[in-house]
Amino acid sequence: MKYLFGIVLLLCISCGNKEDILLPKADRTVVKDVVDLSPIYIFFRIKGKDTLAEVNRKNSIGTTNWVLNIDKRLPLRLVIPEVMKMQEKKRGDSAHKNETAENYYSYADSIGKNLAFIPFTKVYYKMEKPKNGVIVFFDKNNKILVNSKEIAKNDLENHIKNNSSNNDVYYCFDKNMNFGTYVNLKIFVKSIEWKFISNHEFAY
C-alpha cells in the first residue's frame, strides 16, 4: 500500500498545473513509512486576487491512517480550518473508528531524498489566541516570542523549562505563515520534551 501511495503522489504532482502540489521540505525524517493509508490533498489555487485551498479527500477511509499532502505555499489561515473539519469528522465517526489509526502530514526529506511524515493525530487546533498559560508564538518572519518576549531558537527549550512554572505551554503560529514553514517548526518543537506542553495548538 505504501508503494502505491508513492506512485499516486508522483502522478498527482506530475499531471499538470491543475494538480500540482509543492510539498514542504525538511532536513530530517520523523516517520519514514506509513501503511494502510488514505491520501488526502489540499491544493494551492489562485482565483483572481484570492488564494484558495482546494481539498480532495474522496479517497479517505475513516479506519485508515490519513496522510495529508498539503501545498507548502498555502497560509495556515486557509489550511488549519480544513484540517479541523477533517479531524472532527474522523473523531466523530464512531461507527467506523479505528483507535490505532493516525493522521500525518507529508513532506520531502531533502537530505535522505525520501517522502517523510510527521504525526498530528493528538493535536487540537484553534483559530484564536490562548487566554492563559505560556504562549510560544512563532511569527511568519521566523521570530519566536514567549509571552511577548523574543527568544532565540536555540534557547527555546531551556527558556520553556525554566520559566513555565507548571503552567501549560501553548504553541501558537502566525495565521499568515505558510504551511511549509509550519511543518519545519513542527519538526523542530517535536524535539522539546516537557510535560506541560499542551496538545492544543493555536493559529491567529
The pLDDT tens digits of the residues spanning 62-105 come to 999 999 999 999 999 999 999 999 999 999 877 668 989 999 99
Convert the pLDDT of each residue in 15-24 to its tens digit. 444 578 999 9
**pLDDT confidence of 1, banded at 50, 70, 90?**
very low
Convert the pLDDT of each residue in 112-167 to its tens digit. 999 999 999 999 999 999 999 999 999 999 999 999 999 999 999 999 999 988 89
Sequence ranges of the domains in the chain: 2-122, 126-203
- pLDDT surpassing 80 at residue 52: yes
Using a CB cutoff of 8 Å and minimum separation of 24, what contacts does 7-15 make? 8/39, 9/39, 9/69, 9/106, 9/115, 12/41, 12/69
Q: What are phi and psi of 85, to 5 degrees?
A: -60, -45
Whole-angstrom distance, CA of residue 124 vs CA of residue 199: 6
Please give the pLDDT value at position 16: 44
**Average pLDDT of the chain?**
91
Please give the pLDDT value at position 137: 98
Please give the pLDDT value at position 186: 98
- pLDDT surpassing 80 at residue 3: no
Please give the pLDDT value at position 118: 98
Burial class (CB within 10 angstroms; exposed 0-12, middle 13-18, buried 19+) of 108: middle
Facing residues of 71 across strands?
A: none
- pLDDT surpassing 70 at residue 8: no
Convert the pLDDT of each residue in 63-72 to its tens digit. 999 999 999 9
C-alpha cell at position 162? 525554566
For residues 174-197, average pLDDT: 97
Please give the pLDDT value at position 35: 96
Smallest CA-to-CA distance from 179 within 29, 56, 21, 30 is with 21
**pLDDT confidence of 7, banded at 50, 70, 90?**
very low
% of the chain with per-residue pLDDT over 70: 90
The angle at the Cα of 85, spanning 175 to 22, to the nearest 5 degrees, equals 55
Smallest CA-to-CA distance from 67 within 118, 28, 17, 127 is with 118
- Number of neighbouring beta carbons within 10 Å of residue 165: 7
Burial class (CB within 10 angstroms; exposed 0-12, middle 13-18, buried 19+) of 107: buried
% of the chain with per-residue pLDDT over 90: 84
C-alpha cell at position 81? 480550518
